[in-house]
Amino acid sequence: MSPHLKKSKIEEIEKRMAELGIREEDIVEKFILGWGKGGQKKNKTTSCVYLKHIPTGIEVKVQRSRSREVNRYLARRILCDKIEEQILGAESERKKKQYKIRKQKARRSRRAKEKMLEEKHKQAEKKKLRGPVVSDE
């Protein structure tokens, strides 16, 4: 049991792996030397986690944390995401999020802009009619 991870997190990832049919026996796990910023500590500890799911051939390498246990958890979570994406395809949560962001960033077409402005003008006209009544006296 790692002091960095809650027991509920570990149970959650184990449950998710079971739902997706991922068995520990099907995973090759290696710990390799880290790279990048971090100095001597990072250069001499094997905290980077490499996972390979043999049936699908999916590989994951994670080195976000100094802790090996946290990296093991993150690697398994990413592996689950990738396998889920492969199984569900366009229906996976990650694909849905990517599609939503792409739609948000996409520019509106000229026709869509014209229609939106037309609706705004109609709404503005309605609101002008709600103003105070002016008498002719």
For the segment 51-79, what is each residue's pLDDT rounded down to a tens digit? 999 988 999 999 888 888 999 999 999 99
d(CA 114, CA 90): 32
Tell me the mean pLDDT in the region 117-123: 96
The per-residue pLDDT for 29 is 93
The 3-state secondary structure of 42-74 reads: HHHCCCEEEEEECCCCEEEEECCCCCHHHHHHH
Q: What is the pTM of this model?
A: 0.62
Task: Give me the residue spans of the domains in the chain.
Answer: 7-91, 97-128
What percent of the chain lies above the pLDDT cut of 70? 93
The per-residue pLDDT for 1 is 45
Q: For the structural domain made of 7-91, what CATH number should be given? A: 3.30.160.20
Tens-digit pLDDT profile for residues 23-60: 888 899 999 887 777 777 777 788 899 999 998 899 99
Amino acid identity of residue 73, one-letter, is Y
Whole-number average pLDDT of the chain: 86
